[in-house]
Amino acid sequence: MSVAARALIALMLVAPQAVAQDARLSARLDKPTLVAVNAIVDSARLAKLPTAPLVDKALEGAAKGSDGQNIVVAVRQLSMQMGSAKRVLGTSATPDEIKAAATALAAGVSERDLARLRSASGKRPMTMPLAVLTDLIVRDVPIATATGLVVQLARSGVKDPELALFQRNVRADIDRGADPSVAATTRARGLVLRSSGSGNKPSE
C-alpha cells in the first residue's frame, strides 16, 4: 500500500478530532506537529484552561518559521505555565489574566510573587499590572525590584491607565540612558504619591 493511501486511512481515522480542531492549525502545521499540538490543546480544554493562547502560540511559531518540534515544546510550555497561573490566581481568573500571568512566569516571576500580586490587586483585574511587570523585567529591572514595585502600585490602587503611563515613562527614561532599576523605582514612587493624594482606593 502506498504511503499516500496509508496517510489517507490514518486521516479518515482521525477525521472527527481533526474537524473539531482549529482549521488554521491544519493549514499551517505539518501533520506530526498538528497532532501533537492538538493533543496539548485538548488536554488544556479538559483542564479548563484557555486554548486560544495555545493555538496562537503555534500559529506564531509557524509564522516565524520555527520547526515543528520547537513549536510543540513552546505550546506545551505555555500550557504548563497557564496551569500554574490558574492554580495561583484561582478559578475566578479570566483567560486574559491567565495568559498575562503565564507570560510573567515565563519572564521569571515566581508563583509566590504572582500570589502576592493577586493579593495586592484585590478584586481589580491583574492583566495590566502583569503586562507592566513583564515589561519591566524585559527591560532589565531585576525581578525582585520589579515585582516589589508593581505589588506596591497595585496595593496603592493605581488604575490601569496610570500603570500604562508609568510603563511608558520608565521606558522613555531607560531609552535616555537611565538605569532601569532607578528609573522604575523613581517613577513608581511618584505614582504612589500621586495615588495617595488623589484618593485612589487601595485594595483591601
Partner 1 sequence: MRDETEQDIERIARELRVPVAVGRALDARVMRAVRRLPRHARFGLWSRLITPRTVTVTPLVWGMLAAAVAMFAVLGAMHAGADLNRAAKPIARAFFPGPKNAASTSQRVQFVLVAPDAKKVAVVGDFNGWDASHAAYQAQHRGGGVWSVTAPVPLGHHRYSFVVDDSLWVADPTAPRVIDYDYGMPNSAIVVQEQK
Q: Which residues are at the interface with partner 1 (CB under 8 A)? A: 2, 4-5, 8-9, 11-12, 15-16, 19-20, 22-24, 27-28, 30, 52-53, 56-57, 59-68, 70, 73-74, 77-78, 95-96, 99-100, 103, 106-108, 127-128, 131-132, 134-135, 137-139, 160, 164, 167-168, 171
Complex with partner 1: residue 89 or 193, whichever CB lies closer: 89
Q: Which residue has the cell 483585574?
A: 125
Cα 79 to Cα 96: distance, rounded to the nearest angstrom? 14
Complex with partner 1: residue 37 or 131, whichever CB lies closer: 131
102-108: long-range pairs with CB below 8 Å, 24+: 102/53, 102/78, 103/130, 103/131, 103/134, 104/130, 104/133, 104/134, 104/137, 105/81, 106/77, 106/78, 106/81, 107/133, 107/134, 107/137, 107/138, 107/143, 108/137, 108/143
Complex with partner 1: residue 95 or 122, whichever CB lies closer: 95
At residue 28's C-alpha, the angle toward residues 25 and 31, to 5°, is 75
Question: Cβ of residue 174: shortest distance to partner 1, in angstroms?
Answer: 11
Cα 40 to Cα 170: distance, rounded to the nearest angstrom? 38
Complex with partner 1: residue 53 or 157, whichever CB lies closer: 53
Question: Cβ of residue 104: shortest distance to partner 1, in angstroms?
Answer: 9
Question: Cβ of residue 46: shortest distance to partner 1, in angstroms?
Answer: 17
Complex with partner 1: residue 48 or 196, whichever CB lies closer: 48
Task: Check: CB of residue 153 under 8 Å from CB of residue 193.
Answer: no
Which amino acid is it at 96? D
Question: Cβ of residue 126: shortest distance to partner 1, in angstroms?
Answer: 10
Question: Cβ of residue 195: shortest distance to partner 1, in angstroms?
Answer: 19
Task: Check: CB of residue 62 under 8 Å from CB of residue 72.
Answer: no
Q: 3-state DSSP call for residue 73?
A: helix
Complex with partner 1: residue 137 or 193, whichever CB lies closer: 137
Question: Cβ of residue 138: shortest distance to partner 1, in angstroms?
Answer: 4
